[in-house]
Structure 1
């Protein structure tokens, strides 16, 4: 049976289908071409030279009932296999290793090319906070270094 009158939907439903086919292409392009902030200043921590980079310039987010901020750490010098455990936190001072042992947040993990960590933080980053890296070697030596937080990340 033929339709005598075409409705708006009948005339334009192919546009909706075209939109559904185009949207995944846009999201795939965005996923394959991410943009990241610049690496921070490289610092020496024992035998290692490390340059951290936040994955975005947003405030920390809640992850498993704890606030964290994601970081990539480029190890430009040193053998990562010499690290027993390494942690990252944001605050006025570094957290002790016993505090890190309570959960799985802040642990650095990755490959020889770079490490990733969910740095433990408070809900907002304040002016007195720093990014702290704590590394324990297999010999039991504890290495600590910090970076100043850029003003773009500080919550007023």
Structure 2
């Protein structure tokens, strides 16, 4: 039975559903092609060559009562299986290793193709802060390396 009064809603509701499908295709494309800020400089740490990459340029966010900043860490040289545990933090000095072991944040996790870390960070960055990576090998050797903060984070 046909409607006698073709209102605006009845006339264009099919086109509206097509727009919803089109938007979902655009968002799906964006999720498959993310854009990240440039990675920090690669540094050598014994046989490991490490490259940290921040996942965004936003300020640290609060998670479980602490402020954190997300990174992806790539090992360009060396075998990540030789690492017992690794921690990342941001601040003027690295967080002591014993204190890191008591926390559940700041621990590198993932696969050898790319490790993810929620680096412990202060609420606001200062010029004295650095990005610190501490690695412990299976033999008990500990090594620490640092990077300066990107200038965009200090503005």
Instruction: State the TM-score bracket (shorter-chain normalisation).
Output: over 0.9
1:29-68: CA deviations, max 9, x gaps?
A: 0110011122211112222111111011111112222211
**Structure 2: unaligned runs, 5 residues or longer:** none
**Superposition pairs of residues 1-156 of structure 1, within 5 angstroms:** 2-154=2-154, 156=155
TM-score norm. by structure 1 comes to: 0.92
C-alpha distance in 2, partners of 1:2/1:36?
A: 53
TM-score norm. by structure 2 comes to: 0.93
Give the CA RMSD over aligned residues: 1.4
1:1-47: CA deviations, max 9, x gaps?
A: 54322212112211221122112111110110011122211112222
C-alpha distance in 2, partners of 1:94/1:46?
A: 19
Q: Shift of the alpha carbon at 1:80?
A: 1.1
1:83-139: CA deviations, max 9, x gaps?
A: 111000011110011111222111011222221111111122222111000111111
**Structure 1: unaligned runs, 5 residues or longer:** none
Count of residues paired in the alignment: 155
C-alpha distance in 2, partners of 1:83/1:36?
A: 26
